[in-house]
C-alpha cells in the first residue's frame, strides 16, 4: 500500500520506519531536513515512567509564582494571551483530580516500552549507541519541595515506576559537581536518554531511505480526501496520491487539518536550550532540577540545559532571553561549569490540553491517520507511536488501547 507520512520529526520517522517494516511503499515528506523541527534540540530524556499530566494539581498551583518570575519556567507573551486563554482553560480543566488517573494510565501505556520500540529501529540504523539506559535523577533543594512533589511520586508508584529516594551523600556520589544547594534526589533507574536526538532522527531517516523508502523534501500545502481509501496531497513540487496518509507534522499539524475543516486544540509550548560544547563537568545521567524544571543532559556533543515553556505561537521569532534565563540555573546546578560559549535553540512542543497526543484516524476520514501532540514527551512516545500507526494501517489490534488518544475527545 502507498502510505504518505507528513513530517520527518522523530514521530514521523518512527512511523515511516515501522510502516516500511510492514512492507508498505512509504513516502516521508518534510519541507526541511529530517529532525530539524522540535526533535532537534530537546532534552533527550527517555522516560518510560513519565505519567504526570502537565496540568496535574501540583503543577497548576505553581503557575502564578512561575508567571511572576522572569527566569521562571513559564512565560506567556502578553500579545499572545488572548489566543492562549481558551487553550489554558481546557488545560486547567484537564487537571481536575477526577481525570488524573486515566491520563496517567494513558501516558504510562504510551511511554512504558520506549526502549524496546526504539531498539529494532536504532539497531537497524546502526545508532543504538545513542540510546543510553543510565537512569535519570530528579534533584530538589529543600525537603519542602520534595514533599511538594509527593503526589507525583505516588502516581508513578501506583503504575509500577521504579523510583529510589537518595540521601544527600548518595546524590553527591552519583553526580559529582552538583551544586551544594541540591540536597535531595529521586533516582528513576529505568529511565535514560538519547545522546543526540537530532542524529537519532537523521540516522533513522537515512536507514529508511537505505531500505528503499522515499524521502521527499517538499511543503504540504493541502490535503484532499478523494474517498475512504485515497488521499490526495497538494505539495509545492507536485501532487501525490496515497492510500493512507499519516499526519505527523508536530506543532504544525492543526494548520493542515484546518484545511479539511477539522479543528484540534493544538498549541505550541515553545522550549529552549543552551548547550555547552566542551563542558568541564560531566553528569553520568540526565539530571532534572525539579524546582526549575530544567534538564541537564550529557549529550555526545556537549552538556545541554533544556526547559522553559513560552506561549507565543508558531510564527513569533524566538526570544533568546528565555534561553539565557537557563544560564544562571545551569550555574546553580553545576557551580564550576564554564559556560562562556554556549549555543542556544528554540523548538515548538506540540501540546494538547490534556497532555496526551492524538493517535488514530481523523474523524470521518479513515485513510487519514493522526499522530501528533506528544508535548513534553515526544521523544519518549515516538517509538511506540510509530508501532501503533503501523498497527492501524495494517488493521492489527494495536499494542496499546488507543481510546484515550482519539481525535474526537475534545
Ligand X SMILES: Cc1cc2nc3c(=O)[nH]c(=O)nc-3n(C[C@H](O)[C@H](O)[C@H](O)COP(=O)(O)OP(=O)(O)OC[C@H]3O[C@@H](n4cnc5c(N)ncnc54)[C@H](O)[C@@H]3O)c2cc1C
User: Taking a C-beta distance cutoff of 8 angstroms, is the pair 39, 16 a contact?
Assistant: no
Helices 97-111 & 378-394 angle (0-180, nearest 10):
80
Given the rule CB under 6 A, which of 5-13, 154-162, 222-230, 239-247 is the region that contacts ligand X?
Answer: 5-13
In the region spanning residues 58 to 97, those forming contacts with ligand X, defined by CB under 6 A, are none
Question: DSSP characters for 330-361?
Answer: HHHHSTT---TTEEEEEEEEEE-TTSPPEEEE
- Residue 98, strand partner residues: none
Nearest approach in angstroms of CB 372 to ligand X is 5
Given the rule CB under 6 A, which of 65-73, 184-192, 331-339, 369-377 is the region that contacts ligand X?
Answer: 369-377
In the region spanning residues 163 to 222, those forming contacts with ligand X, defined by CB under 6 A, are 219-220
Specify the DSSP element, H or E, that contains 294.
strand 294-299
Which one, of 163, 158, 63, 147, lies nearest residue 102 by Cα?
158
Out of 27, 28, 31, 178, point to the residue binding ligand X (CB under 6 A): 31
- φ/ψ of residue 104, rounded to 5: -65, -40
Nearest approach in angstroms of CB 141 to ligand X is 21
Residue 80, exposed/middle/buried by CB under 10 A (0-12, 13-18, 19+)?
A: middle
Q: What is d(CA 159, CA 220) in angstroms, rounded to the nearest whole number? A: 40
Q: What is d(CA 312, CA 226) in angstroms, rounded to the nearest whole number? A: 36
Nearest approach in angstroms of CB 98 to ligand X is 26
Ranked by CB distance to ligand X, the top (closest) residue is: 378
Q: Which residues contact 113 (CB under 8 A, 6 or more apart)?
A: 48, 383, 384, 399
Out of 215, 276, 379, 393, point to the residue binding ligand X (CB under 6 A): 379
In the region spanning residues 310 to 349, those forming contacts with ligand X, defined by CB under 6 A, are 347, 349
Q: What is d(CA 42, CA 346) in angstroms, rounded to the nearest whole number? A: 9
Closer of 28 and 166 to ligand X (Cβ): 28
Closer of 183 and 353 to ligand X (Cβ): 353
Out of 48, 135, 350, 386, point to the residue binding ligand X (CB under 6 A): 350
Out of 5, 9, 198, 402, point to the residue binding ligand X (CB under 6 A): 9
Nearest approach in angstroms of CB 5 to ligand X is 10
Q: What is d(CA 222, CA 239) in angstroms, rounded to the nearest whole number? A: 10
Question: How many residues bind ligand X, per CB under 6 A?
Answer: 43
Would you count residue 372 as binding ligand X (CB under 6 A)? yes
In the region spanning residues 104 to 143, those forming contacts with ligand X, defined by CB under 6 A, are none
Per CB under 6 A, residues contacting ligand X are 6-12, 29-32, 36-39, 42-45, 219-220, 248-252, 256, 271-273, 295, 306, 347, 349-350, 372, 374-380
Amino acid at each position: 500500500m502507498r502510505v504518505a507520512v507528513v513530517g520527518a520529526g522523530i514521530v514521523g520517522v518512527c512511523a515511516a520506519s515501522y510502516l516500511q517494516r510492514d512492507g508498505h511503499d512509504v513516502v516521508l515528506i518534510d519541507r526541511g531536513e529530517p529532525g530539524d523541527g522540535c526533535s532537534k534540540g530537546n532534552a533527550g530524556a527517555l522516560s518510560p515512567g513519565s505519567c504526570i499530566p502537565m496540568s496535574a494539581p501540583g503543577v497548576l498551583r505553581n503557575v502564578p509564582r512561575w508567571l511572576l518570575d522572569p527566569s521562571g519556567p513559564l512565560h506567556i507573551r502578553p500579545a499572545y494571551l488572548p489566543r492562549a486563554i481558551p487553550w489554558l482553560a481546557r488545560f486547567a480543566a484537564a487537571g481536575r483530580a477526577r481525570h488524573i488517573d486515566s491520563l496517567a494510565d494513558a501516558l504510562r501505556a504510551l511511554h512504558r516500552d520506549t526502549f524496546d520500540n526504539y531498539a529494532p529501529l536504532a539497531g537497524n540504523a546502526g545508532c543504538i549507541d545513542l540510546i543510553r539506559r543510565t537512569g535519570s535523577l530528579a534533584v530538589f533543594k529543600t525537603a519542602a519541595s520534595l514533599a511538594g512533589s509527593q503526589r507525583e511520586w505516588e502516581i508513578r508508584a501506583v503504575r509500577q515506576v521504579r523510583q529510589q529516594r537518595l540521601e544527600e551523600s548518595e546524590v553527591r556520589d552519583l553526580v559529582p559537581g552538583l551544586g551544594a544547594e541540591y540536597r535531595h534526589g529521586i533516582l528513576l533507574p529505568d529511565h535514560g536518554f538519547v545522546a543526540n536526538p537530532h542524529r537519532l532522527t537523521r540516522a533513522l531517516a537515512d536507514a529508511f531511505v537505505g531500505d528503499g523508502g522515499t524521502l521527499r523534501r517538499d511543503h504540504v500545502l493541502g490535503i484532499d480526501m478523494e474517498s475512504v481509501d485515497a488521499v490526495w496531497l497538494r505539495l509545492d513540487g507536485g501532487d501525490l496520491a496515497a492510500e493512507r496518509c499519516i499526519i505527523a507534522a508536530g506543532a504544525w499539524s492543526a494548520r493542515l487539518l484546518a484545511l479539511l475543516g477539522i479543528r484540534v486544540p493544538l498549541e505550541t509550548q515553545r522550549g529552549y536550550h543552551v548547550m555547552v560544547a566542551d563542558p568541564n563537568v560531566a553528569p553520568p545521567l540526565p539530571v532534572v532540577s525539579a524546582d526549575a524544571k530544567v534538564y541537564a543532559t550529557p549529550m555526545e556533543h556537549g552538556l545541554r540545559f533544556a526547559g522553559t515553556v513560552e506561549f507565543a505561537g508558531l510564527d513569533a521569532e524566538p526570544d533568546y532571553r528565555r534561553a539565557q534565563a537557563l544560564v544562571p540555573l545551569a550555574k546553580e546546578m553545576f557551580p564550576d561549569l564554564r559556560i562562556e560559549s554556549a549555543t542556544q535553540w528554540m523548538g515548538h512542543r506540540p501540546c494538547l490540553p490534556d497532555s496526551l497526543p492524538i493517535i488514530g484516524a481523523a474523524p470521518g476520514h479513515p485513510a487519514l491517520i493522526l499522530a501528533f501532540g506528544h508535548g513534553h514527551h515526544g521523544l519518549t512516545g515516538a517509538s511506540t507511536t510509530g508501532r501503533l500507526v503501523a498497527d492501524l494501517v495494517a488493521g492489527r489490534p494495536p499494542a496499546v488501547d488507543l481510546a484515550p488518544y482519539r481525535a474526537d475527545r475534545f
